[in-house]
Amino acid sequence: MSRTYLKKADKTAESDSASVTETVRTILEEIEKGGDAAAKAYAAKFDRYDGDILVGRAQIEAAAASLPQKVKDDIRFAHDNIRKFAEAQKATLTETEIEIVPGLVAGQRVIPCQAAGCYVPGGRYSHVASAIMTVTTAKVAGCGHITVCSPPRADGVHPAILYTADLCGADSILAMGGVQGVAAMAFGLFGQPKSDILVGPGNQFVAEAKRLLFGRVGIDMLAGPTDSLIVADATADAEIVAADLVGQAEHGYNSPVWLVTDSMELAETVIRIVPDFIDTLPEPNRASAIAAWRDYAEVIVCSDREEVAATADDYAPEHLSVQAADLDWWLARLKCYGSLFLGEETTVAYGDKSAGPNHVLPTSGAARYTGGLSVHKFMKVVTWQRATQAGSRPVALATARISRLEGMEGHARTADIRLRKYFPGENFDLSAAE
C-alpha cells in the first residue's frame, strides 16, 4: 500500500504510565483504607475544595435557577436526543428462550447493573455533554442508583453540570474529582452504594484509576487522548475540513487529528490554512491546538478511495468523518471507528454535544475491537436453562463422556447420578470416547 505523508506526527499519544500508575495506586489504597476522611483530604489537596461533598437538593435547585432558560432548553434538547437513541439501542436487547432439544429449554435475561458511577470532567472544561451521555444512558438502561462525581470549583460543582446531572436522572452528586472521585464511587463512600460500573471520560489519572479498579468493578473502556480522522476527496470543502480538524485539536496538546485523502490539492490546501484557523482560537484552546497540530497531526495522500478506506481502518479512530462523494459506499466499506459522521452536514462536535449517539468512545485504536458507551454497557446478558428428566437424558450422556475425555471425573459423576435416578435399570455407555 502506497501512502504519502505530507505531514507526519512527531509524537504518539502516550503518557508516563509508570509514574502515573504508582501515584494512582497509592491514592486508591489510602482512600480505601481511610474512607470518607481520606477522600476529603485528597479533595482538599487536589480540588482545593473543603465544602460539602454530597450535593444537596437546595444546591441543585439554586443551580437550576441561576441558569438562563436558553441554556436549559439546549441541555433538554440534547438530553431528549441522547435518551431517544439510548431507548432505541435498548430495544435491540431482548429476553429470549429456545427449546434446544426436546425437554431442554435455555434462554437469556437482560438485567441492568444495580449501581453506576458516572465521572463528569469539570476542570478546564465543564463537560455538560458528558453528564448527558453517561447519566441518561445509565438511566435508560435501568440502573438502580446513579452516582455522579465532578470536580468542584471554589464554590462547588458547575451549576450547569448540577442541573444536567439532576435532569438526566442522577440519584446523587458528589463534589469531588480526580482519583478521589473515582474511588468514592467504586468504594461506596459518603453513603452511596458501591458502583458496579464506572463510566465517563477523564484525564490520565482518572483513566488509570479505572484501569486499576477494573475487575473489582466494570468500566466503560480504557481511554486515552481523544482522536479524530477525516476522510475526504476532491469534492470536500477545504475550509470545513480545516475547521473540523482544529475543532478536535483543541481538546488537548496530545489529541491526534488526521486527514486521509486521495486529493493532493485538498491536502496541500488544508495544511496551508489550518494555522490560520488555529490562530483565531482563544487561549488556552489555541495553545492546545498548536501543540496537537504540530506534534500529533498527520496528513496522508492515498492513490484511490479503497486505499483511503484501508488507511482509515488501520488507524481505527475514535471519531471518523467522511467528507466525500458516495456516502453509502463509505458506510458499507468502513469497519473500524468509534462513531461515524457521514457528510459535511454533520460533524464530530454534533456527536460530542447533542446529536444522539454517545460520545464516550474507544480511543488509541481500540475501535478495532469495541464500540462506545451504550445501554449495553450497563446491562448484563445472562443465561438460564431448565430441563425435564427426559430432556436431561441426552445432555447427561454427552456431558459424562466429554467430561471423562477431559479427565474431569467429578463433572462426569454429576451427570451419572441423574441418569441413575431418572432412568433406573437402564445401562448407559458412560466411558470416554475412544
pLDDT digits (tens, 9 = 90+) for 148-197: 999 998 889 999 999 999 999 999 999 999 999 999 999 999 999 999 99
Which triple of cell numbers denotes residue 291?
Answer: 501543540
The pLDDT of residue 60 is above 70: yes
Q: What is the mean pLDDT of the chain?
A: 94
Which is the catalytic residue, given 127, 158, 319, 359? 319
Look up residue 130 and give its three cell numbers.
Answer: 458528558
Q: What average pLDDT does range 323-332 have in this prediction?
A: 97
pLDDT per position as a tens digit, 251-277: 989 999 999 999 999 999 999 999 999
The three cell numbers locating residue 61: 435547585
61 is catalytic: no
Coil/strand/helix, residue 344: coil
On the question of a cis peptide bond just before residue 225, with omega within 30 degrees of 0, the verdict is no
User: Which cell is 48 given?
Assistant: 482545593
| Options 145, 208, 318, 359, the catalytic residue | 318
What DSSP state is assigned to residue 156?
B
The C-alpha cell that represents 191 in the structure block: 453513603
Is 318 considered catalytic here? yes
Cβ atoms of residues 253 and 292 within 8 Å: yes
| pTM for this model (two decimals) | 0.90
| Beta-ladder partners of 106 | 98, 385
For residues 193 and 62, the answer to whether their CB atoms sit within 8 Å is no
Which residue, among 374, 372, 338, 370, has the nearest Cα to 87 in the 3D structure? 374
Instruction: HSE, CB side, 13 Å, CA atoms: give it for residue 207.
Output: 19
> Of all helices (H) and strands (E), which one includes residue 232?
strand 228-232
Mean pLDDT of 58-72: 96
**Residue 23, C-alpha cell as written in the block:** 501515584
- d(CA 10, CA 7) in angstroms, rounded, equals 9
Measure the CA–CA gap between 164 and 75, rounded to whole angstroms.
Answer: 7
* Residue 315 identity (one-letter amino acid): Y
**DSSP for 355-388, written as a single string:** SSS------TTGGGT-----GGGGEEEEEEEEE-
